[in-house]
Structure formats: structure tokens, C-alpha cells
Amino acid sequence: MSGAPIVPVGIQSKSKYRPFSKVKINIGKPMEFDEYKNQKSDREILKSLSKKVMDEMIRLTNEEI
């Protein structure tokens, strides 16, 4: 793993699937996973990290417009 931070983003729109509609973009705080830096990737670690990032993206997407 590189040790680079991951910045989660949530995108909201009041009208779904309409081109050129207004959207709100919520940018989260960088997530750092230093405990995995320089560690060999393994399926369970990647699954766990992906879930943490996705959970934060869902939280950002569901914030009040």
C-alpha cells in the first residue's frame, strides 16, 4: 500500500439522472491508513479499507442538502 490519503466524496442531486441538473458535492476529510503503509495488500485488508471508504462516501451523500 502506498500510504497516500484517500479523500471521500459524496455527490447529491435533487433530480436523479437529469443532465445539467444542480448537484451538491460534499468533500470529506482525508482518510489515512498509516497502519497499512508498506504492507503487502491482501484481500481482507482491501475489503476492510474499501468498506470504511464507502461508508464515509455514503454518509457524505446522505447529508442534508
* CA–CA separation, 38 and 58 (whole Å): 28
- Give me the pLDDT at residue 20, please: 81
pLDDT band of residue 1 (cuts 50, 70, 90) is low
Q: Say yes or no to pLDDT of 61 above 80.
A: yes
Q: For 29-44, what is the mean pLDDT?
A: 85
The pLDDT tens digits of the residues spanning 4-36 come to 899 999 998 887 777 788 889 999 999 998 887
Q: Is the pTM of this model over 0.75?
A: yes
